[in-house]
Amino acid sequence: MKCKELHYTDSIHYELEQTAKLMRILTAQLFERLEISISQDEYAALDTISINPGICQRDLAKLIIKDRANTGRILNCLEKNNFVTRLVDIKNNRLVKKLKITQKGIDELNFINTKIKSYLDNITEKISQEEVDRVQEILRGFRLDLEKLVEMKI
């Protein structure tokens, strides 16, 4: 019996990569069509800050998987729009800027979430909620395992 030749394009890695790329393109098109005022990266950062009040830039960078320079640019835009503020604090005897979402940022985040929810729900409408939950659980576990292997230089 001959073994089937394996190709990268037949792997789960390829499927995940292609799916992520397509979701990024779709989200960009959605943000443009709905005239969302901020970028996908700014949205991800704003959402992450909203559920992690007081997070520092370095930790935010790790969560949104961006280097510190890009994270800084994202935060500059969010701060310029008064969606976040940076507060100076001391951590391990060092000055650290902690991030806090403003009321304007909360309002913008809620506005965006309301606008995009129905569109994003349509993407998964052919899959049961149980399947969506299971895929999300599997992907989260896979991502957490990858985080242990990947050297993050942030």
For 51-77, the pLDDT digits (tens) are 999 999 999 999 999 998 999 999 999
Nearest to 68 by CA among 95, 97, 88: 97
Q: What is the DSSP string of 44-58?
A: HHHHHHHHSTT-BHH
Q: What is the pLDDT of residue 94?
A: 87
Nearest to 78 by CA among 66, 89, 91: 66
Q: What is the pLDDT of residue 4?
A: 66
Q: What is the architecture of the domain spanning 38-149?
A: Orthogonal Bundle (1.10)
Q: What is the pLDDT of residue 92?
A: 85
Inform me whether the pLDDT recorded for 91 exceeds 90.
Answer: no
Cα 140 to chain centroid distance, Å, stands at: 13
What is the rounded average pLDDT of the residues 39-56? 97
6 confidence band (pLDDT: 50, 70, 90): confident
Q: What is the pLDDT of residue 39?
A: 96
With pLDDT > 90 as the criterion, what percentage of the chain qualifies? 73
| Residue with the larger pLDDT of the pair 40 and 151 | 40
**Domain segments of the chain: what residues?**
38-149
